[in-house]
Structure 1
Amino acid sequence: MRINITSIYVDDQSAALAFYRDVLGFQVHHDVPVDGDARWLTLVSPDQPDGPELLLEPMGHPAARAFCEALYADGMPFTQFAVSDLAAEYRRLSETGVRFTMEPTAAGPATVAVFDDTCGHYIQLIEE
C-alpha cells in the first residue's frame, strides 16, 4: 500500500493552481474537467513526477469548509511538505511574498516552518 493522492480543499481551483504551481513549484499532473467549473486537478513534485499527487479539491461539502475554517482559525497546518533545505526554501518563498506564520524553528531532529497558502490553509514545511 502507498499514498497515491491526498487532497487540499480550495474555493477557487484556478487561484490555488496559480499559488501551488507558480509560487511553490509543483507541476500539473492531471487537469480534467468534471462537473460544471470543477476539475480533477492534481499536482506533483518535479522531483517525484510519478510520486504522490496533491488534489486541489473543490470545497463542495459544508463539513469540509467548517473543518478548514476551524484549522485556519486555530493556526493549525492542513498538511506538511518536506524540503531538503528549509532555510533556502524559506528565503525563496519569502522573496516571492509568501507570508510565514512561523519562521524555521528547531523541533527535535527536524526544522519546521509554517506559511499561509493564500487559499485558507496553513502549510508546514519540514526538513528532517
Structure 2
Amino acid sequence: MTANAAWLKKVRWDEHGLVPVIAQEAATGDILMFAWMNRDALARTAELGEAVYWSRSRKKLWHKGEESGHTQKVLEMRLDCDEDVILLKIEQKGGIACHTGRHSCFFQKFDGEDWQAVEPVLQDPQTIYSDKNAKKSHE
C-alpha cells in the first residue's frame, strides 16, 4: 500500500501534511487520545491494522505501543464530513492509552475552578517504560 493511494488523497491534510486523529475505544465509546497522522502514518495504520501516528516532537512515525507495549488494534477508520479529522475505533491493548499510565489521556475534568484528575493511574509510567527498556537490553 503506497502513501499515494487514491483513498489517502481524499483526506484534507493541513499545511504541514497532517490530519488530527481521535482514538476511541470501540467497546466503551471512551475517547482515549488525540494525535496526528501524516500520509505515511495513515497508510501504515491501514496496512498493519494497528495505530501508527506522526510524532510532531520527534518528527518521525510512532507506532503506538512500540515502547510501552500498549498497542491499539484498529477495528475501524472513519473520516468526518469535512474530510479533515480521522476517528479510529480501536481495541486498546493493556487498557492503558496514556503515557501517564491511565486508561485515557482525557483524565482531567474542570470542576468550575480548576482541572482535577478523575481517573486513576493504572500502572506507574516508570515501570511501563523501564520494564520495556530492561527487556530490550536483555534481547
Find the structure with the greater CA-based Rg.
Answer: 2
Structure-2-length-normalised TM-score: 0.29
Greater RCO (CA < 8 Å, at least 6 residues apart) = 1
Judging by fraction of residues, say which structure has more strand: 1
